[in-house]
Amino acid sequence: MKNESFLWTATKTGLLGGAIAVFLCLIGMVEIFTKRFVIEDVLTLGQFILLATSAVAGYIAPRQISTTNEQNKPINRLVAGAIAGLCTGLLLTIFVLIGNKIDIRAVFLNASPALYDILTLQKGISNAWVLTALGAVTGLIGAAFLLLPSTVQRPIYRGLLVLVFMALFSGVFRVVMVSQGGEWERTAKYLFGQTGMTTNGTIIFVGITILWTLLWSAKGESVKANYSRVPKTGKISIRVVLFALLAFAALGLPRVSGPFIAQVIVIISLYILMGLGLNITLGFAGLLDLGFVAFYAVGAYTVGLLTSYGEFGLQHIPFWVSVPIAVLVATLFGAFLGLPVLGVRGDYLAIATLGFGEIVRLLAGSDFLAPFFGGPRGIIGIQKPCVGFLEPFLKVDVPRICNGIELGQPQDIYYIAVASALLVAFVAWRLRESRLGRAWMAIREDEDVAEALGVNLIQTKLLAYMLGAAFAGLGGAIFTVLIGSIFASSMQLIISINVVALIIVGGMGSIPGVIVGAVVLIGLPELLREVSEFRYLLYGLTLIVMMLAKPEGLWPSQAAKRELHHSAADAD
Amino acid sequence: MIVLGTYFTIRNGKYTGEQWTDFVIFGVAQGSIYALIALGYTMVYGILRMINFAHGDIFMTGAFGGYFVAYWLNGTGFIDANPFFGLVIPILFAMLVSASIAMLVERIAYRPLRDAPRLVPLISAFGASFFLEYAFRGFFGPGKYAYPPIQALTGDWIILGVKILKVQVVVAVAAFIMMAALYFVVMYTKAGKAMRAVSENKDTAALMGIDVNRVIVSTFALGAAMAGAAGVLFALVYRQVDFFMGFTPGVKAFTAAVLGGIGNIPGAMVGGLVLGIFESIGPSLFLEGLGIPRAYQLKDAIAYTMLVMILLFRPQGILGERLSKQKA
């Protein structure tokens, strides 16, 4: 009886792994990833993810058994792992055999001959059973990994992580390094292939990681102890040096990295701006706003209308003057939208704001208001920011000439965006510690109690909406000059959802959390443009997995941590 | 302003009575689809107090499931021979597909988070929504699939002297049958009773010997089955199926659910119809009179304006009363 459940658990895990592997095949991931290498000419990303599923199945299966059963003997674990891996491989084999008999391509586009070639390693259908064997072997390896002592496990694990990370981002590193020319270019070509790493690069990076992990596990404790013995002034000066280095790197980065990286960082900064804004409304005051993009749109349109040299430009004033106006208008708009929803709570608030956001987008993009906002044609010809003297406006569709430095490229906008993000982070941080910040948090915890304690609900809530809107408006203003045009169709609900998601993933109410969330949810997908086919698939998966594994966020605030530990007890 | 717009439109007399009837009938057909989807939102919200944001995509999965069966049946000439079964079989299959996917989503993305703070399952639902959309994009590609037409349903019938497109009649009738069936299940079967009990109070229901988990799963499955059927009906009206088709109807159906009073099953039906009709006649009736060009572009804006108005002035919805006293 016991033996049966042992077999069954392993089989179940394996079949689940197999189902995932078949799923990856059917959505086309395996085929597309096969065009990319992890290690050049050795291992493709497609092969890697398939091997990884069976290895993970082999790794997980024995663990599940050992919790349900007491069969912890190494041989049992190995057998369980092998069975799980075998089942994973078996499912893939069956998939190949079925696909060869029946043409399922009419339904699943990706079940193509090319896919079967990949799965059978180009050797034809007779080779299908090799998949099963390969699954069993990787499953066994997965299980064997579990048996290793943790001192050996950790370096291997980290080495693998670094390998995958470097392989995924190798394109980015390579482009940046090659653009420097000379020695840099040669190093890049030595370490990175066209896609993925070279064998040499793999050995170097994985080797360094393994060595580092081993060294740290041996000496890490004493380093920490030494650091804690450094006097306080010394610690401060270490931090100052680190900070100066970081600032120096931040200043120089766009010059070195080229427009692509700069643009990615600008976009991250914009989401940080919006994230910090919504963090006030949602994170501090607990008001869920799903129409946040409206404020962003207001900021963008204000700058657009005030500075554009196109047909919809109204004032032709410099960017620097238009930004404070945009922020002001967004703030007023925050009050305007905030006023009617003051009494609305919880989910209803989320839906009402979602409605507002959509109305703003639909109106801005409609022919009804086209004489003012350009309708579906949008506003184009937005004047780039200019440091120096701007020649007067002559006529429509002719940009004003900038006597000085024109900040036209993403590398230039970078400085505006990063500086604004830093400024806003500072403001948000000071706000949180202020009387107002405490009032917001009181409202978040319990509106009625807060009111009883003398918090002016109307004023406090309105301020939350207004300040949140102000930050988003600033984001919109910068976005406008980055792109140089505005289209209502880009003000989609998905932007609001992205902002909410990055706050939750980062850690609600936490300012560093917003930054981490923006980098992870916005930055990484932007950098991984090459796998853009699966960008939103992975994005969705990340959201689910994050919520399952770490609902308090990657960098939670202290209060949220405490809250989540209690919430299970008093959840209603 | 609405009154003014209506007045001017009617005075202009640009539209004949027949056209208005067309608008209303199209609104009923559209609205009954919204109502079917809205049922899933409302039932899940009633039980878990959670906005199942992925529900619109469940609707999409049903449309795909139905499409492939219909395509296959069409290829064998079955649909032309048996138009009734040619309609019903894809719907049944779509219901099956949607229900299974919804149960999977519930198991993986929602159940472990049932006791977490409320934003956590919402984010997970966003994730599930993206995942479903783009998994289906991976399966079937980004293109639009044309749903095979049912010959017997082209053209129109004349009912009480009014010419009506056959498809619209069939869609509305099918939707009403589904809704009636659902209403029967919820009100008069043991499983339905269990559902209502769980939505009143989970803990008490558990004490009465109800398997809460099972009830929640069956609620998801039932709501999803309705959405799947709606997917096929939607595909019949608009003739196309693609991976992103669930988004807008999803948001609209949610609006309908709120409109009728969320958590309230008859409310969702009424809300759907009201929304469908308003959306259909609204642009011409309210806006054109005010001299707004191409008012149909603002069709969605009317839906959202209704949503906001309802939330501000009657948050319990048209039929809802139960939630009004509670903290939403």
Confidence of residue A167 (pLDDT cuts 50, 70, 90): confident
Lowest mean pLDDT among A248-262, A486-500, B210-224, B258-272: A248-262
Nearest residue of B to residue A26 by CA position? B139
Location of structure tokens 């659910």:
B257
Q: Which chain B residues are closer than 8 Å to A540 by Cβ?
A: 126-134
Q: Which chain A residues are closer than 8 Å to B108 by Cβ?
A: 544
Note the pLDDT tens digit of each residue in A328-365.
999 999 998 888 887 777 777 888 888 888 888 888 87
Contact B134 A365 (CB under 8 A): no
Q: Cα separation of A143 and B243, whole Å?
A: 39
Residue among A284, A358, A443 with most chain B CBs within 10 A, to mutate = A358
Dihedral angle over CA of A471, A472, A477, A481, nearest 10 = 120
Residue among B101, B118, B122 with most chain A CBs within 10 A, to mutate = B122
Cβ contacts of residue B157 below 8 Å, gap of 6+?
B163, B164, B166, B169
Q: Which chain A residues are closer than 8 Å to B140 by Cβ?
A: 107-109
Please choose, from the candidates B143, B112, B134, the residue with its C-alpha nearest in 3D space to the C-alpha of residue B61: B134
Residue among B312, B324, B325 with most chain A CBs within 10 A, to mutate = B312
Complex-level ipTM: 0.86
CB pairs under 8 A between A and B: 169
Please choose, from the candidates A524, A475, A501, A420, the residue with its C-alpha nearest in 3D space to the C-alpha of residue A270: A475
pLDDT (0 to 100) of residue A525: 82
The answer, yes or no, to whether residue B243 has pLDDT greater than 60, is yes
Contact B301 A568 (CB under 8 A): no
Contact B308 A355 (CB under 8 A): yes
Q: Cα separation of B317 and B265, whole Å?
A: 12
Q: Cα separation of A467 and A283, whole Å?
A: 13
Neighbours of A210 (CB within 10 A): 18
Lowest mean pLDDT among B95-109, B115-129, B155-169, B272-286: B155-169
Q: Are B323 and B262 in contact (CB under 8 A)?
A: yes
Separation of CA A65 from chain center: 35
Neighbours of A18 (CB within 10 A): 26
Q: Cα separation of B86 and B96, whole Å?
A: 16
What is the nearest CA distance from A51 to chain B, expressed in angstroms? 21
Identify the bridge partners of residue B241 per DSSP, sorted by sequence position.
B145
Percent of chain A exceeding pLDDT 70 equals 94
pLDDT (0 to 100) of residue B295: 63
Contact B138 A340 (CB under 8 A): no
Please choose, from the candidates A474, A450, A500, the residue with its C-alpha nearest in 3D space to the C-alpha of residue A283: A500
Contact A344 B298 (CB under 8 A): no
pLDDT (0 to 100) of residue B55: 92
Please choose, from the candidates B250, B312, B252, the residue with its C-alpha nearest in 3D space to the C-alpha of residue B277: B252
Q: Which chain A residues are closer than 8 Å to B241 by Cβ?
A: none
Candidate from B113, B305, B311 with C-beta closest to A351: B311
**Torsion region of A240: left, alpha or beta (phi above 0 gives left; psi -120 to 50 gives alpha):** alpha
Q: Which chain A residues are closer than 8 Å to B287 by Cβ?
A: 368
Contact B300 A539 (CB under 8 A): no
**Where are the alpha helices (H) located in A386-456, listed in sequence order?**
410-433, 435-445, 447-452
Write out the two tokens for B262. 């969320």
First-last CA distance in chain B: 31
The answer, yes or no, to whether residue B60 has pLDDT greater than 90, is yes
Residue among A351, A495, A545, A567 with most chain B CBs within 10 A, to mutate = A351
What is the nearest CA distance from B201 to chain A, expressed in angstroms? 10
Q: Cα separation of B265 and A432, whole Å?
A: 43
Q: Are A514 and A506 in contact (CB under 8 A)?
A: yes
Contact B123 A571 (CB under 8 A): no
pLDDT (0 to 100) of residue B58: 94
Separation of CA A126 from chain center: 42
Write out the two tokens for A159. 């080495």
Write out the two tokens for B199. 């939505």
Q: Which chain B residues are closer than 8 Å to A288 by Cβ?
A: 119
Confidence of residue B294 (pLDDT cuts 50, 70, 90): low
Confidence of residue B14 (pLDDT cuts 50, 70, 90): low
Classify A391 as helix, strand or coil.
Answer: coil
Q: Cα separation of A372 and B53, whole Å?
A: 34
At CA A471, angle to CA A467 and CA A474, rounded to 5?
135
Candidate from B112, B287, B308 with C-beta closest to A548: B112
* A315: amino acid identity, one letter: Q
Classify A553 as helix, strand or coil.
Answer: coil
Q: Which chain A residues are closer than 8 Å to B301 by Cβ?
A: 358-359, 362-363, 366
Contact A26 B138 (CB under 8 A): yes
pLDDT (0 to 100) of residue B323: 46
Note the pLDDT tens digit of each residue in A372-424.
777 777 777 777 777 777 777 666 667 777 777 777 788 888 888 888 888 99
Distances in whole angstroms, Cα of residue A531 to Cα of each of A26, B212, B243:
16, 41, 19
Q: Cα separation of A39 and A121, whole Å?
A: 17
Note the pLDDT tens digit of each residue in A226-259.
877 777 787 788 888 888 888 888 777 777 777 7
Q: Which chain B residues are closer than 8 Å to A571 by Cβ?
A: 115-117
Candidate from B123, B137, B251 with C-beta closest to A501: B123
What is the nearest CA distance from B208 to chain A, expressed in angstroms? 18
Confidence of residue A568 (pLDDT cuts 50, 70, 90): very low
Nearest residue of B to residue A498 by CA position? B126
Average pLDDT over residues B143-153: 79
Contact A544 B251 (CB under 8 A): no
Q: Are B240 and B4 in contact (CB under 8 A)?
A: no
The answer, yes or no, to whether residue A481 has pLDDT greater than 60, is yes
Residue among A521, A543, A552 with most chain B CBs within 10 A, to mutate = A543
Average pLDDT over residues A531-536: 77
Q: Which chain B residues are closer than 8 Å to A493 by Cβ?
A: 251
Neighbours of B248 (CB within 10 A): 14
Q: Cα separation of A358 and A534, whole Å?
A: 26
Candidate from A109, A362, A367 with C-beta closest to B293: A367
Identify the bridge partners of residue B162 per DSSP, sorted by sequence position.
B159
Contact B254 A358 (CB under 8 A): no
Contact B127 A536 (CB under 8 A): no
Q: Which chain A residues are closer than 8 Å to B135 by Cβ?
A: 23, 27, 537
Contact B139 A108 (CB under 8 A): yes
Cβ contacts of residue A506 below 8 Å, gap of 6+?
A275, A512, A513, A514, A515, A516, A517, A518, A520, A553, A554, A555
Q: Cα separation of B22 and B165, whole Å?
A: 9
Q: Are A319 and A308 in contact (CB under 8 A)?
A: no
At CA A171, angle to CA A168 and CA A175, rounded to 5?
155
Q: Cα separation of A245 and A242, whole Å?
A: 5
Candidate from B128, B135, B311 with C-beta closest to A348: B311
Strand A43-44 with A379-380, pairing: unpaired
Contact A500 B109 (CB under 8 A): no
Residue among A33, A103, A337, A368 with most chain B CBs within 10 A, to mutate = A368
Half-sphere exposure in the Cβ direction for A7 (13 Å, CA): 4
pLDDT (0 to 100) of residue A72: 64
Which position has the higher pLDDT, B26 or A6? Answer: B26
Q: Cα separation of A139 and A28, whole Å?
A: 23
Q: Cα separation of B141 and A110, whole Å?
A: 9
Average pLDDT over residues A471-497: 85
Q: Are A46 and A30 in contact (CB under 8 A)?
A: yes
Distances in whole angstroms, Cα of residue A447 to Cα of each of A339, A468, B185:
17, 19, 39
- Which three-class secondary structure string do you get for A167-230? HHHHHHHHHHHHHHCHHHHHHHHHHECCCCECHHHHHHHHHHHHHHHHHHHHHHHHHHHHHHHC
Contact B117 A548 (CB under 8 A): no
Please choose, from the candidates B260, B258, B255, the residue with its C-alpha nearest in 3D space to the C-alpha of residue B319: B260
Which position has the higher pLDDT, B151 or A138? Answer: A138
Contact A537 B138 (CB under 8 A): yes
Nearest residue of B to residue A112 by CA position? B139
Please choose, from the candidates A102, A108, A117, the residue with its C-alpha nearest in 3D space to the C-alpha of residue A31: A117
Candidate from A346, A508, A539 with C-beta closest to B130: A539
Q: Cα separation of A59 and A84, whole Å?
A: 9
Q: Which residues of A471-490 are buried (b: 16+ CB within 10 A; e: fewer)?
A: bbbbbbbbbbbbbebbbbeb
Distances in whole angstroms, Cα of residue B44 to Cα of each of A354, A567, B196, B254, B264:
20, 22, 11, 12, 10
User: DSSP readout, A135-173?
Assistant: HHHHHHHHHHHHHS-HHHHHHHHHHHHHHHHHHHHHHHH
Neighbours of B154 (CB within 10 A): 10
pTM of the entire structure? 0.86
Please choose, from the candidates A398, A387, A333, the residue with its C-alpha nearest in 3D space to the C-alpha of residue A360: A333
Mean pLDDT score of chain A: 82
The answer, yes or no, to whether residue A572 has pLDDT greater than 60, is no
Contact B308 A536 (CB under 8 A): no
Q: Cα separation of A326 and A472, whole Å?
A: 10
Nearest residue of B to residue A109 by CA position? B140
Q: Per this entry, what is the length of chain A?
A: 572
Contact A543 B327 (CB under 8 A): no
Average pLDDT over residues A463-476: 90
Q: Are A462 and A335 in contact (CB under 8 A)?
A: yes
Contact A543 B133 (CB under 8 A): no
Which position has the higher pLDDT, A484 or A278? Answer: A278
Contact B126 A501 (CB under 8 A): yes
Contact B131 A544 (CB under 8 A): yes
Lowest mean pLDDT among A313-317, A466-470, A515-519: A313-317
What is the nearest CA distance from B122 to chain A, expressed in angstroms? 9
Write out the two tokens for B306. 């209704």
pLDDT (0 to 100) of residue B224: 93
Contact A568 B115 (CB under 8 A): yes
Neighbours of A202 (CB within 10 A): 23
pLDDT (0 to 100) of residue A571: 42
Neighbours of B169 (CB within 10 A): 17
Percent of chain B exceeding pLDDT 70 equals 86
Confidence of residue B326 (pLDDT cuts 50, 70, 90): very low
DSSP letter, residue B14: -
